[in-house]
Amino acid sequence: MKNGIESSRLIRHDAQFRVLAAGECAAVLPLVADDTPPRFLLQPFATAAEVIACLEEYVPDLIFLDADAPELRALELCRALKEHPATLPLPVVVVSRSAKLRVDAFSAGADDFVTRQVPREVLLTRLTALARQSSARRQAADAALKAEVTRREELRRTFRRYVSPQLADRILGNSALRDSFLASSDIRTRAVVLFADLRGFTGISERLSPHEVVPLLNEYFSLLVEIAFQHGGTVFHMAGDCLMAGFGVPLEQADSSARAVLAGQEMLERFGHLADAWRERHRIETGLGIGINEGEVVAGNVGSAMFMNYTIVGDAVNVASRLCQRARAGEMVFSGSVKRALDAHGFDIHAVELPPMTLRGRSMPIDIFCVPLAKRLDLGEAPTLLSFGPVGP
């Protein structure tokens, strides 16, 4: 059986359409076999089990079923093929010596019914039309499958631009998560929001040429995105020299506060090494400030019909941004809601309590805490450029 299938594939170019013939099918096989040039490549089978087994690896353009073969039970096989989604599109032609079974054949789902009385040219024309329709449907299905594969790969690449590869695979592997992630409807959830921003970078960008600034930003964002992904965060926004990441969104994380704080600590530590390299290359001094807040956010696709961006919005996001502005170079400042979540999980990072912070539009100040880097810089509003010689590599 397998050798026959492989042989039929090897000589596929010699025939236009592939046909599975179950039983003798005496009313059509001689006419089809004598067709010159050959339009049909015949693959004979004796039993229904052989037909079913063959369909797992060999997709025909037509199936002939011999209704006169008692052991084949052609009408039952026809009905089974037409009730299964995988074989439903395959044209089935029931063949018989007489027309007595015509109604039963069509009731079983047959696409055509053939007897000895059908003229040869009429028969071949009907079979060719069915085979062409089958081939066209299969090509359309193959094209749709390729398009779906391409779409999924594009989705995977899109996901991996702002979520970790592990999270992207998890979302894409779960249809409910994927649909929720891509849905136009908003999702209200509780999350931890982290903002990271360079201190004094505006002044640096004024002093350095664009071809020097862009590589610095690429280094900076590459480092922060890598760290955010390592801790299970989702990057929602990168603009200028500011990065916004979320933890516990789009997927819930019981330890989202700890993840965010650990990510912030690592960002401060590793950026310190990057800042040292920049000092050596460009003779500039800069630092990183981080703000973190926990609260309710709305996650969804925001934008226009021409451009959409999956992001989070809400008061919790605004507070995290303000905390980031409050942080000096080498500091991580987070809200009391984050501190309470850390305490609830027994996570102590030796935070220092700062004076409560009053935000514009709020009647009550919020509690804030700070975790400074061992080496903290005070750059003020402008960057410090080292004074020995001109700016440059």
Q: Which CATH number is 110's domain given? A: 3.40.50.2300
Q: Is the pLDDT of residue 8 over 50?
A: no
What is the reported pLDDT for 300? Answer: 77
Distance CA 300, CA 319 (A): 19
Claim to verify: residue 133 and residue 202 sit in the same structural domain? no
Q: 64: which 2 tokens?
A: 């002939």
Distance CA 331, CA 318 (A): 19
What is the reported pLDDT for 219? Answer: 94
**Is the peptide bond preceding residue 89 cis, with omega within 30 degrees of 0?**
no
Q: How confident is the model at residue 161 (pLDDT cuts 50, 70, 90)?
A: low
Query: 232 lies in a domain?
Result: yes
**Is the peptide bond preceding residue 37 cis, with omega within 30 degrees of 0?**
yes
Claim to verify: residue 125 and residue 259 sit in the same structural domain? no
Of 313 and 158, the one with more pLDDT: 313
The chain-wide mean pLDDT, for the chain, equals 82
What is the reported pLDDT for 179? Answer: 66
Query: 160 lies in a domain?
Result: no
Q: How confident is the model at residue 387 (pLDDT cuts 50, 70, 90)?
A: very low
129: Cβ–Cβ under 8 A, 6 or more apart, which residues?
A: none
Q: Is the pLDDT of residue 268 over 70?
A: yes
Q: Which domain holds residue 133?
A: 2-146
Claim to verify: residue 279 and residue 356 sit in the same structural domain? yes
What is the reported pLDDT for 207? Answer: 83
Of 91 and 145, the one with more pLDDT: 91
Q: Is the pLDDT of residue 340 over 80?
A: yes
- Residue appearing with tokens 């079974």: 101
Query: 276 lies in a domain?
Result: yes
pTM of the model: 0.59
Of 362 and 260, the one with more pLDDT: 260
Long-range CB pairs of 299-303 (<8 Å, 24+ gap) are 299/186, 299/187, 299/188, 299/189, 299/191, 299/246, 299/249, 299/250, 300/183, 300/184, 300/185, 300/186, 300/187, 301/182, 301/183, 301/184
- Residue appearing with tokens 């310190």: 272
In the β-sheet with 112-114, what is the strand arrangement from edge to edge? Answer: 40-45, 17-22, 62-66, 92-95, 112-114
Q: Is the pLDDT of residue 233 over 60?
A: yes
Claim to verify: residue 114 and residue 238 sit in the same structural domain? no
Query: 200 lies in a domain?
Result: yes
Distance CA 266, CA 284 (A): 22
Q: How confident is the model at residue 158 (pLDDT cuts 50, 70, 90)?
A: low
Write out pLDDT tens, residues 10-60. 334 445 788 888 888 877 888 887 777 888 888 888 777 778 877 767 788
Q: How confident is the model at residue 343 (pLDDT cuts 50, 70, 90)?
A: very high
Query: What letter represents residue 221's amino acid?
Result: F
